[in-house]
Structure 1
Amino acid sequence: MTDRTGIFAGDDPFALARDWLAEAEKTEPEDANAIALATSDESGLPNVRMVLLKEIEADAFVFYTNFEGKKGQELAANPQAAFVMHWKSLRRQIRVRGPVERVEDAQADAYYKSRSLQSRLGAWASQQSRPLAGRGTLMAEVAKVTAQKGPDPARPSFWGGFRIRPVEIEFWADGRFRLHDRFRWTKEAAGWTTMRLYP
């Protein structure tokens, strides 16, 4: 049994994560849904970058990307990931890790359609993670796909979503004198167990 009260209270880590994110959206000046996403290549060498978390489902976290970029290739080769969300304004963070799977085409289509036209065209134009001669080359490619795809482009087959189904979620809040509060949720066969951790 753990002494989870106040901001840590509740029996559902995904509901708790949604509550913390909703609170951060009121205080963070930019991109409260930004996560530092870690993947690793076939040799095990880790890679980390900022991406935007787009949905917290009942049992998973969802983000979108180019499947042919570095992160997409790494997730195809090793479908596991970890991320951290940190909110300086709240002095809190959430850490997540677990296996990864692609989201269904219909879900990816719906999210893609909700994006601005410029972002949809940008998804077509960007050969993510590959060498680029200059910004002019990128802008020329945007102009080209704009002429080709028109005002309502379909989602590219090389672009879509990934879902992380966590095996661990940790909620952390800053404490005075570095005596922080940390609670780790671990996925077991019978459900989630929680444990308070030393700072």
Structure 2
Amino acid sequence: MDSNQFTPESNQSNDQSMDSDVAPHPWDEPLSDPEAQTDEPFPETLQPHEGNSQSTFLLLVVVGMGLGLVFLTGGFYVFTRPCVFGSCSSLNEAQLLSKKSADTLKKPKSGKDILEAQKELKTAIEALKAIPFWSMKHDTAQELLHAYQVRGKDLDQLVTAMQMAARAGHKGKNPPHKASKWIAIQKLWREAIARLE
């Protein structure tokens, strides 16, 4: 027989010598647990119960209803803000109030007129602030808001000066006063004038 010729017996002896050098793999060994070798089907606990599917379905229904309620409420909020659809009454109202305030300030008859003009301008500013960023009129509202806020600061200075002047006038009633009181009155008048400059 030729030594180069392959024989199954010689190959098996080589495999056995190699197997004796290497430890067998755990999967190659037979199971030692007698219960594991039974031909019974898997226990019922691994199969889905009707109760589990019902509770899962109920959970999905509750979550779906919750999400639907959130979207419905959010949509209601978004679409009920001023100036989202149609004409923008808040913008028109703010412009009218601002014009009325400016007209009142041109020829005020008393300090009450100035306070009324300030109140109207503040109402106009609040109406413009209520216009949401998703409105098509938002950019216009922001431009007007900026202009009205600048006018509002000037008007606040005027009202503060009027209040200081009123306090100074009240303190100066019924003279004669001590020099220290006249100095305090003078200080109030100067502060009032400084606010107007």
TM-score > 0.5, shorter chain as reference: no
| Category of TM-score, reference length = shorter chain | under 0.3
Greater per-residue helix proportion: 2
Q: Higher RCO, 1 or 2 (CA under 8 Å, sep at least 6)?
A: 1
TM normalised by structure 2 equals: 0.22
Greater per-residue strand proportion: 1
Larger radius of gyration: 2
TM normalised by structure 1 equals: 0.21
